[in-house]
Structure 1
């Protein structure tokens, strides 16, 4: 059961991560084109700034969920290493429950805000303003999924050795 659940989660996760990568790559290409056309032709595409902002918001929120998946959130190991291992295991579970609650918060309030902003449109692209905020409940769902998997003992880390610590020589 856990293997099947992990396989399904990894498939969805791959789509999520690939969309995040496409978002940041698209954002870089649009900004580069915007700079080139502004400097060389004194022309800017009317939609470029708005689409770049939209992609940045989406990439940032997806990065939050990926950060939780990779366990890159802030931790105070120097303090918790002084505590007994059993206490740390309980503390880790409490932290995961809090992270799950944060995911639920994003789902509930993100969806409410998305619905609220559906009536207005973005000025350049005329897309509904809610497209900017739709990523909040999606991120909340992904955070809840990652946290649930971690709570039941399924490892969610996909990329190894990406922490910021400098290796000891």
Structure 2
């Protein structure tokens, strides 16, 4: 089926491309963030234990990056269907019940994503007036990844709920993986 003929399908492909492209950037970014966290914490330990001084901003930046990683990881988990599930009991239900439970699961996941968006935006806005003490950055930078992850959680849960996998751009993921291997 050539889905590019229908204007609605073209719109869905465009929206999906935008989300998949940004998501792939976040996924690659998360790998870098993990490395940076390890480097910052290691440098702090070495400086404190062996050189006799502390890096004043290291704890704050490591915390900020860990918070960001936690929320990016949630979105990655939803996209890859890695969220917690009790398969042993689920498989014992009849197929129609399994389908209903899958719909309920997707709806709860969307609701969770919407909650992250709404309250994440509120937290970010409310804390933008405060300043992080060591870096001097706005306090909202700590929370900015919460609504971002909420958007991606909603997006991937809706893709799953409405069976819209055909609009996904898997070639973006393959392209990033090829770049890593070279």
TM beyond 0.5 = yes
How far did residue 23 of structure 1 move?
1.2
Q: TM-score if structure 2 supplies the norm length?
A: 0.80
Query: How far 1:5 sits from its partner (Å)?
Result: 4.8
Distance 1:26 1:89, change over 3 A: same
> What is the aligned residue count?
158
Alpha-carbon displacement from aligned partner over 1:4-30 (angstroms, at most 9, x marks no partner): 554443212211111211111110011
Q: Does 1:105 align with 2:115?
A: yes
2:80 aligned partner: 70
List alignment gaps of at least 5 residues for structure 1: 160-169
Q: Does residue 142 of the first structure (1) align with residue 152 of the second (2)?
A: yes
Q: Return the structure number with greater relative CO, CA threshold 8 A, min gap 6.
A: 2
Instruction: Give yes or no for the alignment of 1:36 onto 2:46.
Output: yes
1:21 aligns with 2:31: yes
CA apart distance, 1:60: 0.9
Note if 1:48 corresponds to 2:58.
yes
Structure 2 residue 95 is the aligned partner of structure 1 residue 85: yes
How many angstroms apart in 2 are the aligned matches of 1:6 and 1:153?
13
Give distance in 1, aligned partners of 2:138 and 2:14. 37
Per residue, is there more helix in 1 or in 2? 2
Tell me, which stretches of 5 or more residues in structure 2 are unaligned?
1-8, 174-182
CA distance in 2, matches of 1:4, 1:82: 39
Instruction: State the superposition RMSD in angstroms.
Output: 1.8
